[in-house]
């Protein structure tokens, strides 16, 4: 019987210090492939490297970000694949999805995702024009938040990263209220996967759009981070590190407040400063 995969594994390591080399056990963040498979007709939609856990959130968030589904009801069934050749065991590296009757989305957008690493994202193949084709419009500017609230987000996120505390090897994406309350957090070896898990969990809870919320990601902001947040209508996106040039271009094009280098009581605003109350 195949067992569900864990988010961390133990491994023997050597710690090297001046005049001292010691062997000990440590935790590593698990990285395993996940195949997202369409049930009818049988077809592989994408393969990504991820940290096991919240695989259904990852699947729904990914399909939502790719504009394949718009609502929780668009999914009829979502389950791990059953292998009839191995006593009907579940395959925890394969998620099988069936769309609701009548839904026949175009799957051409998924061709670039037949295999992705946990970090590669769109690999430069997407564009601002592609987002416009999806019907995305600039966000309004009515949502505001105080700088004091922004300052406290990294510390709150860090305390909520349970698996990172044990492994030191995971990214995180977190959803916050305007007052800075942590609403939910997801971790993964890949930044994009963590965000897909977060948005997917909100989709399945019927909480989209996220137009009255903030999202914070560990690491940097890339094109795909902004694309996913725009699809979920997130007005303020914060990151610990720097954004890419294309992330800034998207933020300015679609009126997203983009914050980077959020560390201590300082941060940079690359777009949408009008949403920040100082």
The three-class DSSP label of residue 152 is helix
Q: Does a structural domain hold residue 197?
A: yes
Asked if residues 35 and 47 have their Cβ atoms less than 8 Å apart, the reply is: yes
Mean pLDDT, the chain, whole residue set: 82
Q: Model confidence at 124, in pLDDT bands (50, 70, 90)? A: very low
Phi and psi for 131 in degrees, rounded to 5? -65, -40
Percent of the chain with pLDDT over 90: 37
What domain range includes position 231? 145-277
CATH number at residue 273: 3.40.140.10
Which residues, 6 or more positions from 167, have their beta carbon under 8 angstroms from its beta carbon? 8, 27, 28, 29
**Catalytic residue list contains 123:** no
- Predicted local confidence at residue 42, as pLDDT: 81
Number of other CB atoms surrounding residue 109 within 10 Å: 15
Return d(Cα 120, Cα 175) in angstroms, integer. 23
- For 225-256, give the DSSP string: HHHHHHHTT-SEEEESSPBPHHHHHHHHHTT-
Rounded Cα–Cα distance for residues 204 and 54 (Å): 12
Instruction: Please indicate, yes or no, if residue 20 is contained in any of the structural domains.
Output: no
**Is residue 154 a part of any domain in this protein?**
yes
Percent of the chain scored above 70 by pLDDT?
Answer: 79
The more confidently predicted of residues 60 and 166 is: 60
Tell me, yes or no, whether 37 lies in a domain: no
Name the token pair of 236.
Answer: 């303020």
Angle at 103 between CA 98 and CA 105, to 5 degrees: 95
**Has residue 53 been placed in a domain?**
no
Q: Are 105 and 173 in contact (CB under 8 A)?
A: no
The answer to whether residue 228 is domain-embedded is yes
Entry pTM? 0.80
- Please say whether the beta carbons of 176 and 198 come within 8 A: no
pLDDT of residue 123: 37
- 15-19, 72-76, 178-182, 255-259: which has the minimum mean pLDDT? 15-19
At residue 92, does pLDDT exceed 50? yes
Question: Among the options 120, 123, 202, 229, which is catalytic?
Answer: 120
- Tally of domains in the chain: 1
pLDDT above 50: residue 209: yes
Q: Beta strand pairing status for 75-83 and 89-99?
A: antiparallel
Q: Is the pLDDT of residue 141 over 80?
A: no
Q: What are the pLDDT digits (tens) for 159-203?
A: 887 766 566 667 899 999 999 999 999 999 888 899 999 999 999
Taking the C-alpha atoms of residue 40 and residue 37, their distance in angstroms, rounded to an integer, is 9
Q: Is the pLDDT of residue 212 over 80?
A: yes
Q: Across residues 112-134, what is the average pLDDT? A: 50
Asked if residue 96 is part of any domain, the answer here is: no
In a domain, 9, yes or no: no
- Is residue 72 within 8 Å of residue 103, measured between CB atoms? no
């Amino acid at each position: 019987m195949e067992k569900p995969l864990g988010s961390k594994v133990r491994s023997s390591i050597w710690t090297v210090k001046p005049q001292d080399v010691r062997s000990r056990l440590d935790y590593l963040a698990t990285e395993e492939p996940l195949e997202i498979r369409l049930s009818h007709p049988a077809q592989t939609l994408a393969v990504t490297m991820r940290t096991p856990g919240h695989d259904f959130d990852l699947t729904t968030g990914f399909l939502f970000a790719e504009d394949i589904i718009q609502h929780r009801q668009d999914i009829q069934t979502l389950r791990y694949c059953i292998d009839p050749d191995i006593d009907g065991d579940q395959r925890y590296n394969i998620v099988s999805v069936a769309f609701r009757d009548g839904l026949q989305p175009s799957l051409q957008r998924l061709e670039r995702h037949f295999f992705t690493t946990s970090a590669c994202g769109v690999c430069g193949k997407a564009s601002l024009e592609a987002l416009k084709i999806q019907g995305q419009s600039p966000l309004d500017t009515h949502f505001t938040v105080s700088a004091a609230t922004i300052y406290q987000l990294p510390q709150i996120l860090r305390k909520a990263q349970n698996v990172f505390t044990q492994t030191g090897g995971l990214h995180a994406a977190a959803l916050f209220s305007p007052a800075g309350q942590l609403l939910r957090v997801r971790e993964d070896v890949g930044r994009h996967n963590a965000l897909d898990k977060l948005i997917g969990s909100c989709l399945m809870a019927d909480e989209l759009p996220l137009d009255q919320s903030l999202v914070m990601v560990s690491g940097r902001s890339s094109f795909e981070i902004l694309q996913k947040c725009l699809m979920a209508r997130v007005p303020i996106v914060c990151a610990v590190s720097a954004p890419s040039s294309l992330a800034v271009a998207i933020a300015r094009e679609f009126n997203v407040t983009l914050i980077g280098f959020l560390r201590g009581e300082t941060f940079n605003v690359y777009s949408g400063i009008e949403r920040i109350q100082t």
